[in-house]
Structure 1
Amino acid sequence: MIINKVTLYSHALNDMRNFYVNELGFELLSHTDDGFEIKAGDSVLEIKKYHLQEKPFYHFAMNIPTNLFTSAKAWAKSKVELTREDEVDEVYFSYSNAHAFYFSDPSGNIVEFISRYSVSPKSEAESFSAQNVLCISEINITTNEVRTLGNQLVSFGVPVRKAETISEDGLNFMGEHEAGSFLLLGPSKRRWIFSDRESEIFPLSIVVNQQLEISLDGEGLMELKKVE
C-alpha cells in the first residue's frame, strides 16, 4: 500500500506552515487562507484550518532512507526537541527492523521519522534534509468501531499486516508489511509512545494507491470510496 495524500486539521495553521516550510524546509505545493500542502517524498501532506474549538492532533510517520537515520536525527535535533521514552530519544523496533525518533509540531502532532531497513532504500545524499523524506508511511485512524472499520478496510483491499487478527483494544497495522506503509487503526484513549498524549478522534482523509479515499469524521465513522 502507498499513502498518496493525508489531510489533517489544525487550530494553528500559520504556525504549522511556518514550521514545516520555513523551519524544516519542506516544499510548499500550494496554500490558501484555509490550508496548505507540502511535498513529503512521494506523498502529499495537507493541513487544513480547523474551525471548531477543539485542537486536533494526530500521529503520523515519514519513511527516511536507511543510511541517513543518524544524519536525520542530528538534523532534527538542530531544529526541534526530540521527545523521549524511558530516557532515550530513539527506538529500535525489532519486529519491523526499523529505527525511529519522534518530535511534536505546533499542533501537538506526534511526528515520527523512521528508517525501515528491510524496505526503505538508501540515498545518494551525504546529509539529510526534508527533501530526503521518502513518503508518509503511517497515519492513525482512531475510532471506537475498530473491528467494523478494520473489516471495511480489508474488504477494500487493505489487509492487516501479516494477516494478523484485528484487535479492538490495540493498534492494528493495516497494509502490506513489504510495502512499509500502514494505516494505524486503533481505539481512543490509548497512549502514543514517545508522548504523554492519548489517542483521540478527529476528522481526516487519506488517499491510498491512487484509487481509494478514506474519510473519518469527528465521531470516528469512516467512509470509503473509489477515486475516479
Structure 2
Amino acid sequence: MKIKEIILFTTNIQKQKQFYQNVLEFELVLDSEEKISFKTGTSLLSFQYDKKAVNASHFALNIPSNQEEDALLWLQKRVKILPDGDDLISDFTSWNAKAIYFYDADKNIVEFIARKNLNINSRASFSSKGILSISEMAIATTNIEMVYNSINNMKSIPVFDGDFTRFCALGNDEGLFILINKTIKKWHPTQEEAFTSNFIIKGDYNFSFENGEIKELL
C-alpha cells in the first residue's frame, strides 16, 4: 500500500518547520503560513495550521532495511530516543522489522522503521535523504471494526496483523494503517494514552479522519 501524503494539524506551524527542517534536515518543498510539506522519499509529510488544540498523532517512516543502527546513531545527535523498556530499538520479530521512536515538536510519536521484508538496503551513510516513504499512519478509535469497514468499503484492504479487539494493522510491508482501540491499548513504546487525532491521507486510499469519522476524498 502506497502512502503519498499525510497531512497532520498543528497550532504551531513555525515550530514544526524548525524541527523538521533544522533538526531532522528534511527537505522543505512547500512553505506557507497555512501549510508546510517535507519530502520523505516517495511521500510527503505535511502540517496544516489549525487554531484549535490538536491531539498528538503517531506515524512511521520506512528507512533502508539494513540501517536501523545507523539511523539510531544519526537520531541520537538530534533528538531524545523514546526507549522500548531497556532497548533503544524495538524488535518486531513477527513483522521482521526494527524501529526507533522519538517525539517531534508537537509530541507526535515519530517512528523510523527498517522492514527486512522490503529488502531495500543502502550503503550510503544514513541521513534524512535516505528515508524511503511514509510507512504507517495510526488511527486511535473506540471501534476498530467500524474504521476497517469504512476503509475496506473504499477499496479492499488486507488485514496484516491483529484483530478488531485491541489492535489491527491493515495493508502490507510498504504501507499500513495501524488501528488501535484507545480504551484498552496505549501508544508504543511510551505507553501514554492514545487520543483520536485528525488527519488527511492521500495515496492508494484518500480520506480525511475527523472527529473519529472517515470521509472519502473524491
TM-score between the two structures when normalised by the length of structure 2: 0.93
The answer to whether 1:88 aligns with 2:82 is no
Give the 3 Å change call, closer, same or farther, for CA 119–214 of structure 1 in structure 2: same
Q: Is the 8 A contact 2:162 2:169 kept in 1?
A: no
Among 182, 186, 189, the alignment partner of 1:188 is 182
Q: Over residues 122-156 of structure 1, what are the superposed CA-to-partner deviations in whole Å (9 max), with x where a residue is unaligned?
A: 1241x111000000100112222321220121222
Superposed displacement of residue 158, structure 1: 4.4
Match of 2:70 in 1: 71
Amino acid at match of 1:213: N
Q: Distance in 2 between matches of 1:225 and 1:35?
A: 19
Q: Distance in 1 between matches of 2:170 and 2:141?
A: 14
Q: Over residues 143-187 of structure 1, what are the superposed CA-to-partner deviations in whole Å (9 max), with x where a residue is unaligned?
A: 22321220121222242334x6741x31211113xx431011223
Q: Is the 8 A contact 1:41 1:133 kept in 2?
A: yes
Q: Distance in 2 between matches of 1:60 and 1:193?
A: 11
Q: Which runs of 5+ in 2 are unaligned?
A: none
Amino acid at match of 2:212: G
Q: Is the 8 A contact 1:11 1:49 kept in 2?
A: yes
Match of 1:27 in 2: 27
Q: Is the 8 A contact 1:160 1:172 kept in 2?
A: no
Q: Distance in 1 between matches of 2:123 and 2:6?
A: 27
Structure 1 ranges of 4+ moved more than 6 A: none
Q: Distance in 2 between matches of 1:56 and 1:152?
A: 22
Q: Distance in 1 between matches of 2:76 and 2:86?
A: 16
Q: Secondary structure at the match of 1:86?
A: coil
Q: Is the 8 A contact 1:160 1:166 kept in 2?
A: no
The number of residues matched between the two structures is 217
Give the 3 Å change call, closer, same or farther, for CA 90–23 of structure 1 in structure 2: same
* CA RMSD in angstroms, aligned pairs only: 1.6
Q: Secondary structure at the match of 1:131?
A: helix
Q: Is the 8 A contact 2:182 2:193 kept in 1?
A: yes
The answer to whether 1:198 aligns with 2:190 is no
Superposed displacement of residue 224, structure 1: 1.7
Amino acid at match of 2:98: H
Q: Is the 8 A contact 1:158 1:174 kept in 2?
A: no
The answer to whether 1:8 aligns with 2:8 is yes
Superposed displacement of residue 213, structure 1: 1.1
Amino acid at match of 1:214: F
Q: Distance in 1 between matches of 2:163 and 2:82?
A: 29
Amino acid at match of 2:166: G
